[in-house]
Chain A
Amino acid sequence: MSAGATLLGGPAAPVRRRVVRAGFAPLLVAALAALIAFLTLPVVAIFVDTSPGALVSSLGDEAVLSALRLSLECTLIAVTIIVLVGTPAAYLLATRRFPGRTIVVTLVELPLVLPPAVAGIGLLAALGPRGLVGGAVADAGIELALQTAGVVVALVFVAAPFFVRQAQAAFEAIDHSWLDASRTLGASEARTFLRVAVPAAAPGLGAGLALAWGRALGEFGATIMFAGSLRGVTQTAPLAIYELFSGDFDGALALSAVLVAVAAALLLSVKLLSGAAILGGAAR
């Protein structure tokens, strides 16, 4: 009996395998199609529901404009800080092995898994007026809570890991012999970093920048908890959308449409710029 079953099972197996093989490609396509449909539907809906008139009139609204301006200013300052500090930090993590490295990497990634509200509370507990180091910060003449500077602090906190992770991966992907070659050609470590590592990692750094900038533009929870929602001072575009939402749904939709357009334009230009770097540094 068992021998008979084996004999029967033998020829049946290839048939089933062929069915699986034939069905796999459409399965991949279906999964991607479902994903794209779900991910783009809300974005499409924002534009469908926003009349061009509402879009134009919202751009004339002083509160909306100041929120957008504040968003751009704060995110620009935040990503500048992130890139200046995060790039060398990521290079260190990518090129050196030291005890406790795994712990350091985990600490850098921690804000990624923190709920934004927790991040906001944490920032208050650390840097707020009665926070852990709040006194020292105040003594240095820096006011953060309910100030624009506080928005920047919140943005740096939540967005930095996005950049650092990507930058670390980009540096790790560089052929290490390039760095060695640079040293034997008379370049110090610092010069090697600037002339070889950063240009070679530029596409990855650009992708990290786009991710971090996108995350900063959309930041809501940590900002409202730590910096509040004062119009013209700490009310960035996402906070303004939330405020409009309670009274003026169309206005909230219009500002959302603008924010989507700005975010998409930023992402696209960063991608195009680092794409140029990819072309420039093409083909290892």
Chain B
Amino acid sequence: MLLVEARTRLGDLDLDVALSVPAGTCLALAGPSGAGKTSVLRVVAGLTRPAGGRVSCDGETWLDTARGIDVPPEDRGCGYVFQEYALFGHLRAWQNVAYGLRDGTRAQRRARALELLDRFGLAARADARPGTLSGGERQRVALARALARRPRVLLLDEPLSALDPRTRAGAGRELAGVLREAGVPAVLVTHDFTEAALLGDRVGVIDGGRVVQEGTPADLAAAPASSFVADFTGAVVLTGTARRRPDGLTHVALDGGGEVVSLDAGEGAVAVSVYP
């Protein structure tokens, strides 16, 4: 279980979040750019120190500003897949994967790295430099690198957005499998609700440094707490006047003309989210 509480000011943004992610599940934080998504990951990894907050993983405290505890990033054991992947350009693919390995001889580390690359179907590209890899290959090398150290938490920053649409669907399915298999808490951030719904067991919609609603993807789509969430989930938000009819349905006369019917009860001025 990963527990995160952070309050801090970052430039123009007031970050104030509290999250808990059970092992083996993925929380997808979705929101527009500048909402503070990446900052949450950085706080968990220890790359950004919030003014106040706590981070703990499986009962082990990584950060507690009140008690002056701040474990450095290298001792936290977070597998972090960065946006654009941040592969070391001066190292080969297998060396990138082996970078985090400390135990054993160079030959053993290389063997372990090759084994991981092979799992991602990249054995043939082990000696390639990141610059010569395709976007999809880079993403898989970055995943292999993050998994090599058997991380206690997985953090993924827009893992699919650097990929072209054709690669994205396949990479998304593969990533979902990896997350299930890893069995550790995972936090993924994305600006794309569809991606969040695909990969997250739960989705937190984040805006202006706050989680405005959290739930399963179905919850969010069925009952968006605000028009921002509804908008974000891809619904069209319309306003109108609701009136209950004898048939038990609610008829809403839309302000722009026309009428929609809903099973939800409502009366008076309402906003309706419609999924086209």
Contact = CB atoms under 8 A, between A and B. Distances in A.
Interface of A: 175, 177-178, 180-188, 195-196, 199-200, 202, 277, 280-284
Interface string B216-255: 0000000000000000000000000000000000000000
With a 10 A CB-CB cut-off, give which of A178, A200, A284 has the most chain B CB atoms: A284
B99 A182 contact: yes
A175 B99 CA distance: 17
Given A186-B149, A282-B129, A199 B90 contact: yes
Nearest to A278: B90
Given A182-B99, A184-B79, A185-B145, A281 B90 contact: yes
17 contacts: A180-B73, A181-B82, A182-B88, A183-B46, A184-B45, A184-B74, A184-B78, A184-B80, A184-B146, A185-B145, A186-B74, A196-B88, A199-B90, A200-B90, A277-B90, A281-B89, A284-B89
B119 to A, nearest CB: 18
Interface residues of B, number: 31
Contact of A283 (B76, B82, B89): B89
Interface in B93-146: 99-100, 102, 129-132, 145-146
Contact of B131 (A177, A180, A199, A282): A282
**Which of B73, B80, B90, B149: most chain A Cβ within 10 A?**
B90
Contacts of A199: 90
A199 B145 CA distance: 19
A4 to B, nearest CB: 53
Nearest to A187: B74
B149 A175 contact: no
B84 A177 contact: yes
A280 B47 CA distance: 29
B131 A284 contact: yes
Given A282-B89, A282-B131, A283-B131, A183 B84 contact: no
B185 to A, nearest CB: 15
Contacts of B77: 186
Residues of A contacting B: mostly: helix
Interface of B: 42, 45-47, 72-80, 82-84, 86-90, 99-100, 102, 129-132, 145-146, 149
Contacts of A175: 86
A162 B87 CA distance: 30
A180 B129 CA distance: 20
A183 B89 contact: no
Contacts of A283: 89, 129-132
Nearest to B157: A177
Contacts of A196: 88
A188 B77 CA distance: 13
A200 B129 CA distance: 13
B78 to A, nearest CB: 5
A69 B77 CA distance: 53
Contacts of A284: 89, 130-131
The 10 closest A-B pairs by CB, nearest first: A283-B131, A281-B90, A185-B100, A177-B86, A183-B73, A184-B80, A181-B86, A284-B89, A199-B90, A177-B82
Contact of A178 (B45, B78, B86): B86
Contacts of B47: 180, 183-184
B73, B83, B100, most chain A CB atoms within 10 A: B73
Contacts of A182: 88, 99
A184 B131 contact: no
A283 B87 CA distance: 11
A195 B42 CA distance: 22
A280 B75 CA distance: 30
A181 B88 contact: yes
A195 to B, nearest CB: 8
Contacts of B84: 177
A183 B130 CA distance: 19
A184 B131 CA distance: 22
A212 to B, nearest CB: 23
Contacts of B74: 183-188
Contacts of A281: 89-90
